Structure 1
Amino acid sequence: MRKLRIAMKPTILLVDDDKNILHLVNKQLKQAGYAALEAASGEEALRLLDAQPVDLAVVDVMMPGMTGYDLTRRIRENYDIPVILLTAKGEIRDKEAGFLAGSDDYVVKPFDPRELLFRIHAVFRRYQKQSQQPIRIGDVVIHPAGFEVQVNNQTLMLPLKEFELLVCLASRPGHVFTRSQLIESVWGMDYMGDERTLNVHIKRLRDRFSELTDSLAIRTVRGVGYLVEAAGS
């Protein structure tokens, strides 16, 4: 299950079959410092979620094919990210259906874009607390809140970028992150360097853990990127 990741610019997935809504919300999100992806259907949203890291989804309920409720349930089954439902329905039973599907909040159309931003900020604050929970892989325990790693009884204090890279990879063991996804997550979308910086950090992490444990390994997927693999997986 994909965890909420550490990122300099959180990425929000907008799912709505109304192009005007997509354009309006996308513009507001970018002005507020977020990165945005757009999907016109639930099926397209799932393809984007599987292809790249996303931090939060804003989902319209009334869409052709897969409804927003169905998409929210699919997200809950496979991705540990918050969901805000965006819909013209405002009755209590509709809100109840949204929360039962697993949404974190509910915004009724027509809406002030600033209200949506406020709700996004509030949901991120709640999830940020949850994302501080330790990540355990074999005898390796990663503590996002304390920026430290424990291997057996030894505590490691990694340089910040190495730590952020490790958290990103370890947040979803067995999942292949592309080089561009890792660079964007750790160094940001505006990073002007090349992939050699990423390769150097990967090598340093490998060297550190190879001396301490065999329960966690960073594998290269040729031509694609990297993944964290737990022993026996």
Structure 2
Amino acid sequence: MGKGKILIADDEEVLRDLLQDILEKEGYQVLTAKDGEEALEIFFETEDIDLILLDVLMPKIDGWKVLTEIRDYSNVPIIMLTALGTSKDEIEGLLAGADDYIAKPFSYEVLLARVNTQFRRNNIEQTEPMEVGSIKIDQLRQKVFVENKFVRLNNKEYHLLIYLVKNKGIVLNRYQIVTTIWGYDYEGSERTVDTHVKMLRAKLGLCGDYIRTVRGQGYCFEIN
């Protein structure tokens, strides 16, 4: 039995085939798409995809549009692959719902570590329901409800909320949050935490105030 099913969407055939070979040797089942249109077709025809490696610059439909369309239906982890290596592009991807962002060229060891981190995080047994204030978390289905209304969170936002809730009353600094949610090999900026906290607060509505900023230290989940 394989470790999980991964969809690779990239128009570079050599890179696509190389990634497929590396991931299959690691024990993953791999599907490939040569453009954004094919990526969407495969995704919606295949119910059990566990992770997507998604190139940004693809023909027919680019990676940003593919990401947006998938996020309307699923919280499947998505790692963006792109030659656009600026912080603006990284933030744009994270705001659109990406879980990670790797700039080309990258080492295959780094990519494999990021993939394995996503699978470890999502394979941890988390089944007990949680209720904090007006927030209810169904860990079995990974769904969040605020005042009994479903709130759609992407994978990173969901795990960030879980981490904050499980450490209720404890101030967590940005390094702790980054290493827990993104992994020790994360090469991006710690300000990614601030971006995700801002997005999470907005989605939680009035319950966003449960996440308190502790100046010069980090964040703390508290219910007044």
TM-score tier (shorter)? 0.5 to 0.7
Structure-2 change in CA distance of 1:55 and 1:43 (3 Å): same
Decide which of 16, 32, 36 is 2:10's aligned counterpart: 16
Residues 98-117 of structure 1 mapped to structure 2, 5 A cutoff: 98-117=93-112
C-alpha distance in structure 2 between counterparts of 1:44 and 1:134, whole Å: 37
Q: Any gaps of 5 or more consecutive residues in structure 2?
A: 130-137, 142-224
Residue 174 of structure 1 aligns with which residue?
none
Distance in 2, matches of 1:8 and 1:19, equals 24
Counterpart-to-counterpart distance in 2, 1:70 and 1:133: 32
CA distance in 2, matches of 1:99, 1:144: 25
* TM-score w.r.t. length of structure 2: 0.54
Residue 37 of structure 2 corresponds to residue 31 of structure 1: no
CA distance in 1, matches of 2:30, 2:9: 11
Q: TM-score, length-normalised on structure 1?
A: 0.52
| Superposed counterparts of 1:45-194, under 5 Å | 45-52=39-46, 53-129=48-124, 132-133=126-127
Give yes or no for contact 1:70–1:101 (8 Å, CA) kept in 2: no
Please report how far the alpha carbon of residue 127 of structure 1 lies from its aligned counterpart in structure 2 after TM superposition. Answer: 2.4
Give the aligned residue type for 1:70.
Answer: K
User: What is the rounded CA distance, in whole Å, between the counterparts of 2:84 and 2:127 in structure 1?
Assistant: 35
Note the C-alpha offset of 1:134: 6.2
Percent identity (aligned):
37
Matched, 1:40 2:34: yes
Unaligned 5+ runs, structure 1: 1-6, 136-141, 146-233
Q: Runs of 4+ in structure 1 displaced over 2 angstroms?
A: 125-129, 131-135, 142-145
Contact 2:54 2:78 in 1 (8 A): yes
Which secondary structure does the structure 2 equivalent of 1:107 belong to? Answer: strand
Distance in 2 between the 1:103 and 1:14 partners?
15
- AA partner of residue 108 (structure 1): A
CA gap 1:144/1:97 in 2 versus in 1, 3 angstroms = closer
Q: Which amino acid aligns with 1:43?
A: E
The CA deviation at 1:8 is 4.2
2:2–2:27 contact (8 Å) kept in structure 1: no
Structure number with higher relative contact order (C-alpha < 8 Å, ≥ 6 residues apart): 1
Shift of 1:49: 1.2
- Aligned AA (2:111): L
2:179 maps to which residue? Answer: none
User: Number of residue pairs matched?
Assistant: 132
